[in-house]
Amino acid sequence: MTASCCENSVDSKCSLVGLAPLEAVLFDIDGTLCDSDPLHHQAFREMLQEIGFNGGVPINEEFFIENIAGKHNDDIAARLFPDDLQRGLKFVDVKEALFRRLAKEQLKAIDGLYKLKKWIEDRGLKRAAVTNAPRENAELMVSILGLSDFFEVVIVGSECEHAKPHPDPYLKALQMLNVSKEHTFIFEDSVSGIKAGVAAGMPVIGLSTRNPENLLMEAKPIFLIKDYADPKLWAALEELDKKEGRGKNEA
């Protein structure tokens, strides 16, 4: 299976029809609802450079993807400050405050998100946001995007027994929404998040927002999309609608 499947028709490996009747759609937040990774990268780069991390050489995108993107803050702190975890934990807390200031000024939705939002609302599906971000960040981003009333629940990794890449946050979302994994799918943009969704037993559609496609595919999403306007996504949703007996334009 490649990232290009579903371009002209819905490949069996990329199909969502087995989920019918669909009950719920779950979303990660960072990089999935909004292209927030550049803001996180900026915050980490500025703050790490200030303290002379890596000899004062700014971290590059490759370092950010390998050590930071999609990971829980406890794990990031341990990677960046292996000899002083408490310092690392304090550092990431300050970094998150900087990120929130940047987000208020610069955060934007992924292309096509509001079209997909309408599709989900028109079908009366349940929905949850499931994230490794701190709750304060998560609720701020959801609010900036105008989605506070859209999501029935926001699940935060640190409030579960284990954060992503463990399945716990997604399993908790199923429990909170009272839906079945056999009738739910997930949108994710990171290797950690895709692994969590797959481990929870659900198909995951990956967004190639920032992370390399080859790394995302190794985590086994059913297919990748560029954004929510991607024809591959809408071909799959149209097939699902047909399976459920809906017309192409039927709400």
149: annotated active-site residue: no
Sequence letter at residue 199? A
Element (H, E) at 204: strand 204-207
Tell me phi and psi for residue 135, to 5 degrees. -55, -40
Q: Are 40 and 61 in contact (CB under 8 A)?
A: no
Q: How far apart are CA 148 and CA 166, in angstroms?
A: 26
Largest CA distance in the chain: 61
Structure tokens at 89: 């934990």
CA 223, 228, 229, 232: dihedral to nearest 10 degrees? 20
Q: How far apart are CA 120 and CA 132, in angstroms?
A: 23
Tell me phi and psi for residue 187, to 5 degrees. -110, 130
Q: How far apart are CA 25 and CA 16, in angstroms?
A: 12
- Annotated active-site residue in 11, 28, 75, 168: 28
Sequence letter at residue 145? L
Rounded to 5°, the CA angle 243-205-8 comes to 60
- Annotated active-site residue in 30, 35, 75, 230: 30
75: annotated active-site residue: no
Q: Are 43 and 145 in contact (CB under 8 A)?
A: no
The residues that are catalytic are 28, 30
